[in-house]
């Protein structure tokens, strides 16, 4: 793989969405189930809102997904408890290898390209002290639709000033990798869970287990 710049998905790729489990303990004895259902509905609502042309930013989508998950699981958190669980998205933990991998990749322009709202992304980047490793933080809010819409991926080449074919798009989400590949990026799948390839007729250019594997594959 030869790339002149990198775009990183945020949630599940740089930041562990299931680090909300700790906050979830305040409202349920099974925070893992809450986290899994919350994430599932969060993604579903982004796709549905894109198809319906009814955009709301990712904070609102995440809040709606949490409300559904609580109702599905028979939970009745107070307003204060729900706010604390929501606020966990502003302080998600970066995966253990992220900082070192970004340091190894420092010679390449690197940006986040995420469904997250600007406020959410700024907060989680600063919480993990990663700002110095990033050229830009790009949110779908600029085009008011969600991945995998091509308009979202187009934000990357426009900001980095690079041809799409020279950019490596890095995501742990198989559907996101497929969207990036269809757009014309070199697609890197960070397959943290050893999941099967999505049946979408598109294959990533590189599959690694974590970002350390990406740095190694790029000779860093």
CATH code for the domain in which residue 34 is found: 1.10.150.240
CATH code for the domain in which residue 105 is found: 3.40.50.1000
Which is more confident, 214 or 26?
214
For residues 40 and 62, state if they share a domain.
Answer: yes
For residues 104 and 40, state if they share a domain.
Answer: no
For residues 41 and 134, state if they share a domain.
Answer: no
**pLDDT tens, position by position, 47-104:** 999 999 999 999 999 999 999 999 999 999 999 999 999 999 999 999 999 999 999 9
Query: Which of 49, 68, 90 is at the close of a domain?
Result: 90
For residues 80 and 97, state if they share a domain.
Answer: no
What pLDDT score was predicted for residue 156? 98
Query: Which of 41, 65, 90 is at the close of a domain?
Result: 90
Rg (the chain; Cα; Å) = 17
For residues 134 and 97, state if they share a domain.
Answer: yes
What pLDDT score was predicted for residue 200? 97
What pLDDT score was predicted for residue 11? 98
pTM attached to this predicted model: 0.95
User: Looking at the predicted structure, is the pLDDT value of residue 158 above 90?
Assistant: yes
Per-residue burial over 131-169, b = 16 or more CB atoms within 10 Å of its CB, e = otherwise? eebbeebbbbbebebbbbbeebbebbbebbebebeebbb
- The CA distance from 4 to 83, in Å, is 41
For residues 169 and 203, state if they share a domain.
Answer: yes
What pLDDT score was predicted for residue 116? 98
Work out how many domains the chain is built from and give that number: 2
Band of pLDDT at residue 110, cut at 50, 70 and 90: very high
Do residues 14 and 192 make contact, with C-beta atoms less than 8 angstroms apart? no
For residues 61 and 117, state if they share a domain.
Answer: no
Evaluate the CA torsion angle 177, 65, 12, 131 in order and state its sign.
positive
For residues 23 and 125, state if they share a domain.
Answer: no
According to DSSP, the residues that pair with 16 across neighbouring strands are: 93
With tokens 């269809």, the residue in question is 182
- The CA distance from 99 to 95, in Å, is 8
User: Looking at the predicted structure, is the pLDDT value of residue 123 above 90?
Assistant: yes
Query: Which of 52, 72, 90 is at the close of a domain?
Result: 90
Do residues 13 and 112 make contact, with C-beta atoms less than 8 angstroms apart? no
With tokens 């469904």, the residue in question is 115
% of the chain surpassing 70 pLDDT: 100
For residues 80 and 126, state if they share a domain.
Answer: no
Which positions are annotated as active-site residues?
9
Please provide the average confidence, as pLDDT, over all residues in the chain: 97
- Domain of residue 22: give its range: 17-90
For residues 27 and 74, state if they share a domain.
Answer: yes
User: Looking at the predicted structure, is the pLDDT value of residue 1 above 90?
Assistant: no
For residues 22 and 101, state if they share a domain.
Answer: no
For residues 85 and 103, state if they share a domain.
Answer: no
């Amino acid at each position: 793989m030869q790339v002149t710049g990198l775009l990183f998905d945020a949630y599940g790729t740089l930041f562990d969405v299931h680090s909300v489990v700790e906050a979830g303990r305040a409202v349920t004895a099974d925070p893992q189930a809450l986290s899994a259902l919350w994430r599932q509905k969060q993604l579903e609502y982004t796709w549905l809102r894109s198809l319906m042309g009814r955009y709301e930013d990712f904070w609102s989508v995440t809040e709606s997904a949490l409300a559904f998950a609580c109702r599905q699981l028979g939970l009745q958190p107070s307003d204060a408890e729900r706010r604390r669980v929501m606020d966990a998205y502003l302080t998600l933990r970066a995966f253990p290898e992220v900082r070192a991998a970004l340091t190894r990749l420092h010679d390449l322009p690197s940006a986040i390209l995420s469904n997250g709202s600007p406020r959410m992304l700024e907060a989680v980047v600063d919480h993990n002290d990663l700002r110095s490793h990033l050229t830009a933080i790009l949110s779908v809010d600029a085009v008011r639709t969600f991945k995998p819409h091509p308009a979202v991926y187009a934000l990357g080449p426009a900001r980095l000033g690079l041809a799409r074919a020279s950019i490596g798009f890095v995501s742990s989400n198989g559907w996101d990798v497929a969207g990036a590949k269809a757009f014309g990026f070199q697609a890197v799948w960070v397959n943290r869970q050893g999941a099967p390839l999505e049946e979408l007729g598109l294959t990533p250019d590189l599959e690694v287990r974590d970002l350390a594997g990406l740095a190694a594959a790029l000779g860093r």
